Amino acid sequence: MITLEFPDGKKKEFRKGIAAIEVARSIGERLARDAICAEIDGNLVDLGMEIKSSGKFRVLTFKDEKGIEVFRHSTAHVMAQAIMELWPSALLTIGPVVDEGFYYDIDLEQTFHPDDLAKIEKKMEEIVRKDLKIDRQVLAKKDAVDIFKHNPYKIELIEEFAGEISAYRQGNFIDLCKGPHVPSTGCIKAFKLTKISGAYWRGDVKNKQLQRIYGISFPDRKALDEYLKNIEEAKKRDHRVIGQKLDLFSFDDISPGSPFFHPKGAIIFNELLRFLREEYSKRGYKEVITPLVYGKELWQTSGHWEHFRENMFMLNMDGREAALKPMNCPSHCLIYKKGFKSYRDLPLRIADFAALHRNEVKGTLGGMTRVRKFSQDDAHIFVAPEQLEDEILHIMDFTRYIYKEVFKFDYRIELSTKPEKAMGSEELWERAEKSLADALKKKKLEYKINPGDGAFYGPKIDFHIKDTLGRSWQLATIQVDFNLPERFQLEYEDMDGKRKTPIMIHRALLGSIERFMAILLEHYAGRLPLWLSPVQVRLITVANRFDDYAEELRKELEGFGVRAELDARAESISKKVRESQLMQIPLIVTIGEKEVAAKTVSIRTLDGKVHFDYPKDRFVEAVMVALEKRTEKAEL
């Protein structure tokens, strides 16, 4: 007999070799129907897996993040089978799960077109109707090579496998996969293929370009329909469309991936910086301005030349190799070294909004969410070891303030650990990972481990915010780095008179300002909070004889720092109001004879409410309070 412990702490005995699905049935038939896979002592297994030892047992459904991943990866296999049945000469590569569903990269001479997605979906429906059993097979290396001998991509993967090689078969289709999967193709009730794009094998531009097909899937049609409805809403909220309509920014092929901020877009950008600078002054940060171009030697010292060079823009400077900086940390190490430091100088918090450049593959660029030129609310904090945990806790509080209190975003947290290509000793990495984990536990924050996804110089905590449409975006990050201070030979004199090496914390809370702006525009559908709106108040006069009153009010608002405009054109009130609404101006004020006589205004807000005969002075005060508190709108 074996003993299994359930998530609620209860334990129950079962016969040795019982299948995971039978354990699920013993808990409840509904759970067994919804089950996607099981988890035993943290390891995911197929529902048909025989359990031969005691341990902690959990059934995963579509309500679990890992259950969703297994379900969608199973759908990727169904899509791959459909593609192979339609185009037998296709070479499959990999088909992972991503935030927006799943994809499969395919090598095929024929170019896929949007019409082909419908053909693939139809074939997938046939495969689902057949309800093919999905079986796991463990393969000897020579057998795996023989099965996939016509696919060089699979052979490359097989040659790299150090452990067990497994594959999953459904009908006549077989694919390499560690699993687990749903029990049969009939479990996949609702799916949609969403787009086609290009991708290089293993993300390397030196390799062949493949065709990538994306899709999404759900256990029922209702959930899929809701998702597709959100996708349509997301198209309406596309920041590129909003940016053009509101005249905020543009792009030009003369400088791919680099936004041109128009005057109104620059206002939003600078308001975000102003907000951060105000917070920095309260929290002991010192802002610096640093160069954009550095000689090769700096990048060799930092490790970027070895680990990040393919993402850097190279150039020649005075006959020597140089590069535009992709990040600020090495330049902040140089600033740290410029003078003597003692323990009294720590923590030293250095902030920088310098422009950064990364040589992203052109095909991956997308509006302001994936760019080549960008600015971060970047800061590097140098601390003594005994200060590390407190400083991480302070940054977490700062992050919470920004996302929860100012922008009202929810977020989830991931701790990303040492990647395959990393600098520094195992001991330093363990210390850094432990410091982040300890801080999270002290704050009693739930988090997920993201193995191998840390930066090459240190582990990190990432904050993933959720927008109005339920989409997840990785924004704030906190990274602990023992490596760069050692590589740059940074020191401080401790209170015992000894020279010691500080620890460096990398942190960006909004992340890329460009990307954050894009997310805000989509989250608010262009209706930005009052304090961020390029034009906060538009005054509209019924006739020219009321212009003097309106201009006097505009100047008063402007004197208090309010961005106010006067629309005195000889157009109808309805037309001027409609145009103001289309420009997403939060406060539209109309002024006529009655308002001038009573020293009032009539205010229209973007939610459709109209406040007639509102005292002018109270209106000015309400706007000032809203701007001071950075609330989403004025309380009228």
Catalytic residue, candidates 237, 304, 380, 604: 380
Largest CA distance in the chain: 93
378 given a catalytic annotation = yes
Report the candidate in 587, 596, 595, 592 with the shortest Cα–Cα distance to residue 620.
587
187 given a catalytic annotation = no
State whether residue 495 is helix, strand or coil: coil
Catalytic residue, candidates 58, 77, 418, 506: 506
Catalytic residue, candidates 239, 325, 460, 507: 460
209 given a catalytic annotation = no
Residue appearing with tokens 């902690």: 56
**Torsion angles phi and psi, residue 413, rounded to 5:** -120, 140
Structural element, H or E, at residue 50: strand 50-51
Read off the tokens for 533.
């709106």
Report the candidate in 501, 204, 252, 537 with the shortest Cα–Cα distance to residue 364.
204
Residue appearing with tokens 């290009």: 198
The amino acid at residue 43 is N
376 given a catalytic annotation = yes
73 given a catalytic annotation = no
CA distance linking residue 476 with residue 461, whole number of Å: 8
| CB-CB neighbours of 371 under 10 Å | 22
Catalytic residue, candidates 181, 212, 349, 358: 358
Q: What is the DSSP letter of 49?
A: P
Work out the angle at residue 556's Cα, subtended by the Cα atoms of residues 552 and 559, and round it to the nearest 5 degrees.
135
Catalytic residue, candidates 376, 387, 479, 584: 376
CA distance linking residue 447 with residue 441, whole number of Å: 9
Report the candidate in 424, 472, 483 with the shortest Cα–Cα distance to residue 450.
472
Contact 515, 480 (CB under 8 A): no
Read off the tokens for 120.
């693939």
* Residue 161 to residues 96, 153, 421, Cα–Cα distance (Å): 17, 13, 17
State whether residue 375 is helix, strand or coil: strand
Catalytic residue, candidates 37, 187, 329, 333: 329
37 given a catalytic annotation = no
Catalytic residue, candidates 378, 462, 481, 567: 378
Read off the tokens for 158.
């097989």
Question: 3-state SS of 216-263?
Answer: EEECCHHHHHHHHHHHHHHHHCCHHHHHHHCCCEECCCCCCCCCEECH
506 given a catalytic annotation = yes
Active site residues: 329, 358, 376, 378, 380, 460, 506
